[in-house]
Amino acid sequence: MTMKNPKSVAIINSRAPFSSPAGKDALDLALIFGSYEQDVALFFQGDGVYQLIPDQEPALIGQKDYLKTFAAFEFYDIEQVFVCARSLRERQLTTQFHIENVSLLEPQQFAQALARFQAIFRF
C-alpha cells in the first residue's frame, strides 16, 4: 500500500523482550508502518537493547519468539536500526546482535538521529 508523502516514524524500544508485551506491540506497529511504505526506524535503548541479543530461547518460558521476525525487517523496508551504545555498556553486553546492519550510537548521536523523525512512538 502506498501513500503520498510518507511520514518518517521512529519507534523506540525501551523494555526487555519477554517481561511485558511492549516489544511485540512495538514490532507489530513497525511492520504495519513498513507495509504502508512509511519511512520507519527502530531505536533500542535502556532494557530495550536486550531485544537484540542473540540465542534467546523464549520457548523455555512458554513465550513466542517474536524476535525472529526481526530478520524480516528488510522485507518490510525497515533499514534503519539504531542502538544506544551506553545502554549496552551499562548492561555489559557486546555488540553481537541477532540481526545485521545495526548502527551503534552514543547518547548524543542517538538523540540527534531521533530528532530527525516526524513521529516518535515509545514502548
Residues binding other proteins (CB under 8 A): 3, 5-7, 9, 21-22, 25, 28-29, 32-33, 36, 38, 119-122
Minimum CB distance to other proteins smaller for 5 or for 92: 5
Minimum CB distance to other proteins smaller for 39 or for 102: 39
Minimum CB distance to other proteins smaller for 35 or for 96: 35
Cell of 103: 548502527
DSSP 70-86: GGGTTTTT--EEEEEHH
Shortest distance, position 105 Cβ to other proteins, whole Å:
22
Shortest distance, position 71 Cβ to other proteins, whole Å:
21
Using alpha carbons, list the distances in angstroms from residue 86 to 55, 79, 104, 106. 22, 22, 9, 6
